[in-house]
Structure 1
Amino acid sequence: MIPHRRKRNNKIKKIVGFFISLVIIIGVGVFGYIAMANHRLNNILDKGYHKVDNNYKSEKHKDTESFLIMGLDNTQERNLGTTRTDAMMIITINKKTKTTTFCSIPRDSFVQIDSKSYKGMQRIEAAYTYGGPSASVNTVEKTFNIPIDHYCVFNFNSFIKLIDAIGGIDIDVEKSFMGTDESGIESIKFNSGKQHLDGAKALSYARERHVDTDIMRGFRQQKVISAVEEKLKSMTSFTNLYSIIDSLDDNIQTDITPKDIKELISNALTFSNYSKQQLTFDWRTFSNQGRSM
């Protein structure tokens, strides 16, 4: 019986040894995968890093952190730094109340532009044209009295690539409508109800404003961001990490450093469990040129 027991013990040891080796190999592979992805992300952030000249001296709150997110239309030969912001949103993370607030700013909001090259009343989307991200950040801070800690500008090419990299998103469309493609032609059909959107369709959905109002457009953009957040929490997104990071290459400008990113990523799971608050501005007065006041 003893030899038989030894053989069985040896077999068990071999099986255990195999699984331990497998775990080590997988662990090393995952570590290497993450390390290489982190290196790639750092290179992209370094390339797109641009510090803003923040002239607004507002009180910073240690429990909150606000980000100004801006989307640029890169069609019709438009490039970063030479166009208007097609989408603007303030995302505020409040660690004390455990709340994340999404506040959309209608692009036609008629405000006092704060830039070195222009001082006067204009649509808020024009701030970027007159002074890039610095003008946009200063204008938003002075208009809404909200301290902006960081900003991030992306063009629509990166938006499409990101959505495709995570395998698309699921959106509950409020009502049926025809959306426009990148050429401005109404060729994308949306049916009411839940449906899966790829990058191009998600962009069309987020940009649509003729089916209702610019206010509802802001809410649609917030729905898209929430859907992206949910998808990023899945294992599928982890396996597509390189594609997700590559979607940002040459398509992003920000003052967020690799160190800031690491801190945000380390707290991502905590932040994702915060309660969500979605806001937009309900403008009721308009100028004679259709601008929101």
Structure 2
Amino acid sequence: MPPATPSGSHQMRFTTLDRAQRVRFRRAVTLMLMTFVLPGSAQLVSGNRRVGRIAMRTWIALVVVAVVALASSYVWHGVAFWAGTNTTLLQVLRLGLMALAIGWAYLFIDAWRLGQPLTLQRQHRLAIVGVNGFLCFSVAGALLFGAHVVGVQRDFMISMFGNGAAVDASHGRYNVLLMGGDSGAGRWGLRPDSMTVASIDAETGKAVLISLPRNMQNFPFVEGSVMAKQFPDGFDVEGMYLNGLSTWALDHADLFKGSKSPGVDATVMGVEGITGLDINYWAMVNLEGFKDLVDAVGGVELNVRQPIPVGLPFEKTFHYIDPGKRTLNGHDTLWFARAREGSDDYSRMARQKCVMSAMLQQVSPQVALRNFEQIAGASSAMVSTDIPRGEVDRFVELALKAKSQKIATLSLVPPMINTAHPDIALVQEKVAAAIARAEGQKPTPDTAEAAPAEEAPAADAPTEDTASAPATTPAAPVTPSQAPAVTGGSVGSLAQGYAANQSEDLGAVC
């Protein structure tokens, strides 16, 4: 065979170099992908094996911890709730994610170096830089974002919940007083607009919402309390109502030595005296801030039974919420809960309970995770509470259990209860019976009847319906089929009672 021509020799050398370039390029890409899939493996193959062993052992340990944590959380949800509310663990996790992001980024850069980019052709070098940058910034960015979310959760826990001591359940139930207060400089929550005791079974999460009218008068306080010593015959101050306890206490703060919230303490004393329940914790909701929470979860769907006014007639944005199934934003949801036109205080209470039920049922864990940062920010500005951080995981678990169960309601309002001169024995009997039914017990026969006394006008919100409607009809739970009439957007009427105020299944009557 004749010897190869010079041109043929040059072509062979070019082909050999080209193949070598492709091999080096594939090797460089492989090292980066190895770092992405198994951090440290690139160093074990081509670099500093000590660094590779440390990285791989760390990664394997983290994977084992993650698998164990996920398996434990799947078997026992309390593990996840505890981990998500423990501020020390959250800080460790946050710092760990930041360290992992830095370490992984270093391994990507080292893998790029091991790929010998300077020996590659220009187009291959550019491709390697692009691949390495994409992987490095994607992984490190995801880990740093995770650290940010963990930091938001930790800040949320610290800002909202204190370090107080946990309180044991009372007779197997946690009783939490939920208060809604108007926002405003110097007066946030001073006069609660709504008061509801959420009585929650400590095992099953079965909840009973017990609402108290803000215009209740002449009620006793729990024995031995500061307020009971001041008013041994009950709260009979002329022109003062249950929602005025907070203002009275702040005007006499010297009586509540060492208390950080004398207004709330006085209100709790009154609620305990009225219901006969031991209040374990309280939470004050800024009703204006409530709008942000509803917006953060993407709105809430409500059954609007009558046109509900939004805003005041002289405002440019004034409009009505049309009847039907409506998904409302935060602004309209707040007006749905608080609108007064054509309503009395007790129909408003019924609408407020429907909003509570809708929020509980519709805010899923998926929605909470997807909008976590907005929800955390809105909640921090919306809620003040004495629930300690160590108890948050317990209440999260109970809330998830409550989602799958019917919510029972009881409102201490006319015609069952005369708010001007309440029969406290009857009130406490009704409360005990509602809780007994929720626990599956058969309550004792109800022998007491509502007192047909004349009703006093409601504080702050007198309406013709409230002032003039009779309060003589015996109390009875109401269902839509029994009371098809709708008043103020709620099924029922003042004379008959409102379905959402007296129901074994709040969702069914809303």
Distance 1:28 1:80 in 2: 39
Task: Give the aligned residue type for 1:147.
Answer: D
The equivalent of 1:247 in structure 2 is 378
In structure 1, distance between residues paired with 2:414 and 2:272: 18
172-181 or 30-39, which deviates more: 30-39
Decide whether the 8 Å contact of 1:127 with 1:136 is kept in 2.
Answer: yes
2:157 aligns to what?
A: 42
- Contact 1:88–1:106 (Cα < 8 Å) also in 2: yes
Report the residue type matching 2:331 in the other structure: A
Change in CA separation of 1:29 and 1:163 when aligned onto 2, cut-off 3 Å: same
Asked if 1:71 corresponds to 2:180, the answer is yes
CA drift of 1:171 comes to 0.5
Q: Take 1:86 and 1:19, find their aligned partners in 2: how far apart are those partners?
A: 57
Partner residue of 1:80? 188
Question: Where does 1:231-270 land on structure 2 (aligned, <5 Å)?
Answer: 231-270=362-401
**Alignment pair present for 1:130 and 2:248:** yes
Aligned to 2:274: 143
The structural deviation recorded for 1:186 is: 9.0
Q: Could you say what the CA RMSD is over the residues aligned between the two structures, in angstroms?
A: 3.7
C-alpha contact (below 8 Å) 2:163/2:389 kept by paired residues? no
Check if 1:92 corresponds to 2:210. no
Q: 1:93 to 1:60 in 2, by over 3 A?
A: closer
Greater displacement, 129-138 / 262-271:
262-271
Counterparts in 2 of 1:282 and 1:266: CA distance versus 1, 3 Å: closer
Q: Does 1:193 align with 2:324?
A: yes
Residue 152 of structure 1: which of 283, 292, 300 is its match?
283
Instruction: Tell me which amino acid in the other structure corresponds to 2:209.
Output: F
Contact 2:200 2:208 in 1 (8 A): yes
| Cα shift at 1:88 | 0.9
Amino acid in structure 2 at the alignment position of 1:290: P
Unaligned runs of 5+ in 2: 1-29, 40-58, 67-138, 250-262, 421-453, 459-465, 472-510
The normalised TM-score by structure 1 is 0.77
Q: Distance in 1 between matches of 2:230 and 2:319?
A: 38
* Structure 1 match to 2:15: none
- 2: CA distance, partners of 1:245 / 1:105: 29
Aligned residues: 269
- The residue that corresponds to 2:214 in the other structure is 107
Sort the Cα spacing of 1:74 and 1:184 in 2 relative to 1 into closer, same or farther, 3 A.
farther
**1:50, 1:253 within 8 Å by CA — same for their partners in 2?**
no
Does structure 2 conserve the Cα–Cα contact (< 8 Å) formed by 1:166 and 1:231?
A: no
Q: 1:63 to 1:186 in 2, by over 3 A?
A: farther
Q: Give the SS at the match of 1:248.
A: helix
Higher relative contact order (CA 8 A, sep 6+): 1
- Residue 39 of structure 1: how far off its partner (Å): 0.4
Q: Which has the higher mean CA deviation after the structures are superposed, 225-234 or 166-175?
A: 225-234
Which has more radius of gyration?
2
1:92 to partner: Cα distance: 1.1
Structure 1 pair 32/186, CA: closer, same or farther in 2 (3 Å)? closer
In structure 2, give the amino acid aligned to 1:101.
V
In the TM superposition, residue 269 of structure 1 has moved relative to its aligned partner by: 2.2
Q: Is the 8 A contact 1:70 1:89 kept in 2?
A: yes
Higher percent of residues as strand: 1
Structure 1: which 5+ runs fail to align? 1-10, 52-58
Aligned partner of 1:275 among 397, 406, 421? 406
Aligned partners of 2:169 and 2:202 also within 8 Å: no
Calculate percent identity across the aligned residue pairs: 19
Look up the equivalent residue of 1:63 and give its one-letter code: G
Looking at secondary structure, tell me which structure has more helix per residue. Answer: 2
Asked if the contact 1:50/1:254 (under 8 Å) is kept, the reply is no
Q: Structure 1 residues 266, 97: closer, same or farther in 2, change over 3 A?
A: closer
How far 1:136 sits from its partner (Å)?
0.7
Structure 1 residue 273: Cα displacement: 1.8
Determine the C-alpha separation between the residues in 2 that align with 1:145 and 1:193: 39
Partner Cα distance (1:186, 1:50) in 2: 43
> Is the CA contact (8 Å cut-off) linking 1:219 and 1:278 kept in structure 2?
no
Post-superposition Cα deviations, 1:3-54, rounded to whole Å, max 9, x if no partner, equal xxxxxxxx9xx89x85999x996996796465323302222124xx497xxx
Residues 160 and 199 of structure 1 are in contact (CA less than 8 Å); yes or no, is this contact kept in structure 2? yes
